[in-house]
């Protein structure tokens, strides 16, 4: 089976067993060799019928429903042999808070990527692997989880940073489980904006309550949130937002240490030029998310136009340079929109 043709349960298994300790735990739970799990994940072989039930029960609870559905799609004749999600009781081997640490093997892997990978690969590899590891580590329990990265936009002509742009995110149901971007620009009236402006972490236990000293506007399904600034030598590149469908999900002090550690690892994906002094961060209020769509939809066309214009001038642009300029143009349009219409912010964060 070609890697691109792997069904979702195989891709999910591959991700899980690359997390420190999970390969050994699952292999031991279902009494197979660790290499057997790798062969199932790659598509080189498939589990025999007697392994379906124990394999499903060994999958972390947050991923089990999607795992089961995908297995049933590939093996419809065996669907009757798989227990329904409502019949499974996931028993934790230890208290949740006792597992709140990042294994050294994973930290060492990220440091190795940072030290030895090619420049154009480092950022994506660190972000991808850290988000996936954090999702597995934090997704115990019944609630949904989402982790989203927000970048500082480059300083404008006056030297000041006026907004943040949403970057990659990864989650569990009801949010998207795939690594991707759902772009919007955020400003001073949001929890992530407040985090960057103050260079301090914040957490809100119940986003349904009226905001007090910390501004926030919850997204759909979001009931609690925690934000951590990405910093280096006291300078900021943006922040990481952890969202949950559960009230009070991020109140534990030990969990706060873990979230900051994951944020610090993600910060390794950025270069020195991506970090800015707090003194140049003066965020403005951005338009409502709905109002942003008419400008965000122009992004691809702006990139194409910039590349075409560059081809006819002596100043050639790389694709990444065109992307950066296009985002700056979109930001300008959004700032002008807010100044013109003086909207009350409705940003969903």
**Is residue 138 included in any domain, yes or no?**
yes
Residues 327 and 307 in one domain: yes
Residue 65 confidence (pLDDT): 78
**Is residue 154 included in any domain, yes or no?**
no
Residue 318 confidence (pLDDT): 83
Which of 256, 279, 302 corresponds to the end of one domain? 279
Residues 139 and 219 in one domain: yes
Residues 144 and 103 in one domain: yes
**Is residue 212 included in any domain, yes or no?**
yes
CA 55 to chain CA centroid, Å, is 27
Q: Which residues contact 190 (CB under 8 A, 6 or more apart)?
A: 215, 216, 217, 345, 347, 349
Residues 101 and 167 in one domain: yes
**Per residue of the chain (349 residues), what is the pLDDT tens digit?**
444 457 888 888 988 888 767 888 888 888 888 889 988 998 888 898 888 888 888 888 767 777 888 888 888 766 555 555 444 433 343 344 445 788 888 999 999 999 988 877 889 999 999 999 998 888 765 578 999 999 999 999 899 999 999 999 988 888 877 766 678 999 998 999 999 999 999 999 888 887 677 888 778 889 999 999 999 999 999 999 999 988 888 988 888 999 999 999 999 999 999 999 999 999 999 988 888 888 888 888 998 888 888 777 767 788 888 888 999 999 999 998 877 766 444 444 4
Residue 275 confidence (pLDDT): 97
Residues 173 and 230 in one domain: yes
**Is residue 308 included in any domain, yes or no?**
yes
Residue 3 confidence (pLDDT): 40
Q: Which residues contact 106 (CB under 8 A, 6 or more apart)?
A: 19, 20, 133
Domains held by the chain: number: 3
Given a contact cutoff of 8 angstroms between Cβ atoms, the answer to whether 150 and 239 are in contact is yes
Residues 101 and 250 in one domain: yes
Residue 150 confidence (pLDDT): 96
Residues 63 and 39 in one domain: yes
Which domain does 301 fall in, by range?
Answer: 289-341
Residues 110 and 141 in one domain: yes
**Three-state secondary structure call for residue 226:** strand
**Is residue 284 included in any domain, yes or no?**
no
**Does the bond joining 174 to the residue before it have cis omega, within 30 degrees of 0?**
yes
Which of 42, 73, 91 corresponds to the end of one domain? 91
Greatest distance between any 2 Cα atoms in the chain: 66
Residues 180 and 119 in one domain: yes
**Is residue 153 included in any domain, yes or no?**
no
Residues 183 and 254 in one domain: yes
Residues 244 and 262 in one domain: yes
Residues 141 and 213 in one domain: yes
């Amino acid at each position: 089976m070609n890697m691109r043709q792997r069904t979702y349960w195989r891709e999910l298994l591959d991700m899980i067993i690359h997390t420190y300790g999970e390969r050994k735990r699952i292999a031991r739970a279902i009494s197979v060799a660790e290499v057997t799990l790798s062969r199932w994940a790659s598509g080189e072989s498939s589990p025999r019928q007697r392994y379906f039930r124990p394999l499903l029960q060994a999958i972390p609870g947050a991923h089990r429903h999607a795992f089961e559905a995908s297995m049933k799609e590939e093996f419809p004749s065996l669907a009757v042999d798989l227990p329904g999600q409502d019949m499974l009781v996931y028993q934790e081997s230890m208290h949740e808070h006792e597992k709140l640490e990042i294994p050294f093997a994973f930290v060492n892997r990220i440091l190795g990527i940072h030290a030895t990978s090619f420049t154009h690969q480092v950022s994506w590899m660190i972000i991808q692997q850290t988000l996936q590891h954090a999702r597995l580590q934090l997704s115990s329990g019944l609630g949904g989880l989402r982790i989203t990265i927000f970048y500082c936009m480059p300083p404008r002509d006056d030297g000041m940073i006026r907004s943040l742009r949403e970057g990659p995110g990864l989650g569990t149901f009801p949010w998207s489980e795939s690594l991707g971007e759902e772009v919007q620009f955020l400003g001073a009236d949001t929890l992530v904006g407040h985090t960057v402006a103050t260079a301090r972490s914040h957490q809100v236990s119940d986003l349904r309550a009226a905001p007090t000293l910390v501004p926030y506007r919850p997204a759909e399904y979001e009931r609690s949130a925690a934000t951590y600034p990405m910093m280096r030598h006291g300078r900021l590149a943006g922040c990481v937002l952890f969202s949950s469908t559960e009230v009070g999900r991020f109140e534990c002090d030990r969990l706060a240490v873990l979230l900051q550690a994951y944020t610090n690892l993600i910060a390794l994906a950025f270069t020195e030029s991506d970090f800015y002094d707090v003194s140049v961060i003066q965020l403005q209020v951005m338009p409502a998310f709905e109002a942003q769509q008419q400008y965000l939809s122009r992004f691809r066309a702006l990139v194409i136009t910039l590349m075409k214009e560059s081809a006819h001038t002596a100043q050639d642009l790389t694709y990444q340079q065109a992307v950066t300029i296009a985002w700056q143009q979109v930001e300008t349009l959004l700032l002008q929109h807010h100044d013109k219409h003086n909207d009350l912010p409705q940003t969903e964060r």
